[in-house]
Amino acid sequence: MATINFGGVLENVVTREEFTLEKAQNVLKRETVAVIGYGVQGPGQALNLKDNGVNVIVGQRKGTNSWKKALADGWEEGKTLFEVEAACEKATVVMNLLSDAGQIQAWEGIKKHLSKGKALYFSHGFGITFHEKTGIVPPIDVDVVLVAPKGSGTSLRSLFLQGQGLNSSYAVFQDATGRAEERALALGIAIGSGYLFETTFQKEVYSDLTGERGVLMGAVAGIFEAQFNVLRQRGHSPSEAFNETVEELTQSLMPLVAQNGMDWMFANCSTTAQRGALDWKDKFRAATEPVLNELYDSVVSGREAENVIKANSKDDYREKLEEELAVMKNSELWQTGLEVRKLRPKK
Q: Mind listing the pLDDT tens digit of every residue in the chain (347 residues)? A: 789 899 999 998 999 999 999 999 999 999 999 999 999 899 999 999 999 999 999 999 999 999 999 999 999 999 999 999 999 999 999 999 999 999 999 999 999 999 999 999 999 999 999 999 999 999 999 999 999 999 889 999 999 999 999 999 999 999 999 999 999 999 999 999 999 999 999 999 999 999 999 999 999 999 999 999 999 999 999 999 999 999 999 999 999 999 999 999 999 999 999 999 999 999 999 999 999 999 999 999 999 999 999 998 898 998 999 999 999 999 999 999 999 999 999 87
- Categorise residue 216: left if φ over 0, alpha if ψ from -120 to 50, beta otherwise: alpha
Active site residue 113: no
Tens digit of pLDDT for each residue in 148-178? Answer: 999 889 999 999 999 999 999 999 999 999 9
From the candidates 113, 124, 131, 236, which is the catalytic residue? 124
CB 211 within 8 A of CB 292: no
What letter does residue 345 receive in the DSSP assignment? Answer: P
Tens digit of pLDDT for each residue in 48-70? Answer: 999 999 999 999 999 999 999 99
What letter does residue 211 receive in the DSSP assignment? Answer: H
Q: How far apart are CA 52 and CA 42, in angstroms?
A: 15
The pLDDT of residue 99 is 92
Residues 300, 304, 59, 54, Cα dihedral to 10°: -40
